[in-house]
Amino acid sequence: MIRPSTILWGCAVVAVGYAMFQMKYEVMQQEDRLARLNHDIASDREAVRVLNAEWNYLSQPARLDELAKRYLTLVPIGPKQLIDIAAIPLRVPEGTAGASAASSPAPARMADLKTSAER
Partner 1 sequence: MTESSPREENPCRPRHFRPDPCGPATPAEGPARQSLDQSHTRLLITAALFCLVFAVIGVRLVEVGLGGDDAHIARQEPSRGITTGRADIVDRNGVLLATTLETPSLFADPKEIADAQKAARALVQILPDLDEKEVVQKLGSGKSFVWLKRHLTPREEEAVNRLGLPGLQFMPEGKRVYPEGDLAAHVVGYTDTDGNGLAGIERGLDARLRKGGAPVQLSLDARVQYILRDETAKAVSEFNAIGGMGIVMDVRTGEILAMVSLPDFDPNDANTATPATTFNRATLGAYEMGSVFKIFTMAMALNDHVATLESSYDATNPIHIGRFTIHDDHAQRRWLTVPEIFEYSSNIGAAKVALDVGADRQRDFLGRLGLLSAPHFQLKEIATPLVPAVWHPVNVMTVGFGHGISVSPLQLATGVSAVANGGILHSATLLKQADDAQALGTRVLTQETSIEMRKLLRLVVEHGTGKLAEADGYLVGGKTGTAEKVSGHHYAEHALLSSFVGVFPVNDPRYLVLVSVDEPHGNKQTAGYATGGWIAAPAVRETIERMASIVGIPPVDEDSPEIRRSLMVTLPSPEGRKFAAN
Find the shortest distance in angstroms from Cβ 42 to partner 1: 5
DSSP 2-67: --HHHHHHHHHHHHHHHHHHHHHHHHHHHHHHHHHHHHHHHHHHHHHHHHHHHHHHHT-HHHHHHH
Binding map of partner 1 across residues 79-118, x = CB under 8 A, - = no contact = xx-x-x-----------------------x-x--x-----
Binding map of partner 1 across residues 34-63, x = CB under 8 A, - = no contact = xx--xx-xx--xx--xx-xxxxxx--xxx-
For the chain, the C-alpha Rg in angstroms (whole number) is: 36
Find the shortest distance in angstroms from Cβ 95 to partner 1: 32
- C-beta of 64 vs 92, nearer to partner 1: 64
